[in-house]
Chains A and B, each alone.
Chain A
Amino acid sequence: EVQLVESGGGLVKPGSSLKLSCVASGFTFSSYGMHWIRQAPKKGLEWIALIYYDSSNKYYADSVKGRFTISRDNSKNTLYLEMNSLRSEDTAMYYCARAVPFDYWGQGVMVTVSS
């Protein structure tokens, strides 16, 4: 059974940093591109980052470019999102998701940026 489990969220102050993790199981993690997608409270979905299966390419939405970094460790079946210079508008549920279209999603982890 495919499972994606996120962790690392929390309440942080504007300007601070946070690193999310997504542990994958039930499939060959190293064969799939992976994504981070977020959903602000009572809002729609926003794709924010993609990493290729072998980390050879990484892409970001303009809203997070230069502040967020996506990475992965295929030996640990883990996807990461390092978030710097956090803003109030980054407050959202953050999901990791597999492939395109996004066929499996994690349960999400909440990030709240507030003073």
Chain B
Amino acid sequence: IQMTQSPSLLSASVGDRVTLSCKAGQNINNYLAWYQQKLGEAPKLLIYNANSLQTGIPSRFSGSGSGTDFTLTISSLQPEDVATYFCQQYNSWYTFGAGTKLELK
């Protein structure tokens, strides 16, 4: 199942509300996760089952969507949120999107 993320690069200011998009090539029954990868680090699970917040993740992160269209929202961007964000489906094996690189404006 192909996963398409947009945009590939996003520039935003501290405090901004940021929205990242992920589209699946077919219905994935909400088996969608979001990961954050900071430079030189392993990915970290943020959201699973499309909208469930992983333990220990700040509440400014939220996930939404269903079927084929999903969104990761950061309600108020913080400097430490600079990273690349990947979506991943686990409805049929496991495929990742190409990522959205989030930088500070």
B residues less than 8 Å from A95 (CB atoms): 42-43
| Whole-angstrom CA separation of A106 from B93 in the bound complex | 20
Shortest distance from the beta carbon of A61 to any chain B beta carbon, whole Å: 8
Min CB distance B72 to A, Å, is 14
Pairs A-B, 7 closest by C-beta atoms: A101-B33, A47-B94, A105-B42, A45-B96, A101-B48, A44-B98, A103-B45
Measured between C-beta atoms, what is the minimum distance from A51 to chain B in Å? 14
A76-115 residues with Cβ-Cβ distance < 8 A to B are 95, 100-108
Interface residues on B, range: 10 to 19
Contact A101 B88 (CB under 8 A): yes
Contacts of B88 in A (CB 8 A): 45, 101-102
**A73 at the B interface (CB under 8 A):** no
Fill in one digit per residue for B93-105: 1 if any A CB lies within 8 Å of its CB, else 0.
Answer: 1111111000000
Cβ of B86 < 8 Å from any Cβ of A? Answer: yes
Give which listed residue, B42, B45, B54, contacts A106 with CB less than 8 A: B42
Give the tally of cross-chain contacts (CB within 8 A): 42
Query: Which A residues are within 8 Å of any B CB, using their own CB?
Result: 35, 44-47, 59, 95, 100-108
Minimal Cβ-Cβ distance residue in B for A6: B42
B90 neighbours in A (Cβ, 8 Å): 100-101
Q: Which residues of B contact A105 (CB under 8 A)?
A: 42-44
Query: Is A47 a contact of B95 with CB atoms below 8 Å?
Result: yes
Residue of A35, A100, A106, A107 contacting most chain B CB atoms (<10 Å): A100
Q: Can you list 12 residue pairs at the A/B interface with Cβ under 8 Å?
A: A44-B86, A44-B98, A45-B96, A46-B96, A47-B94, A100-B90, A101-B33, A101-B45, A102-B35, A102-B43, A103-B45, A106-B42
* Chain B residue at smallest Cβ distance from A48: B94
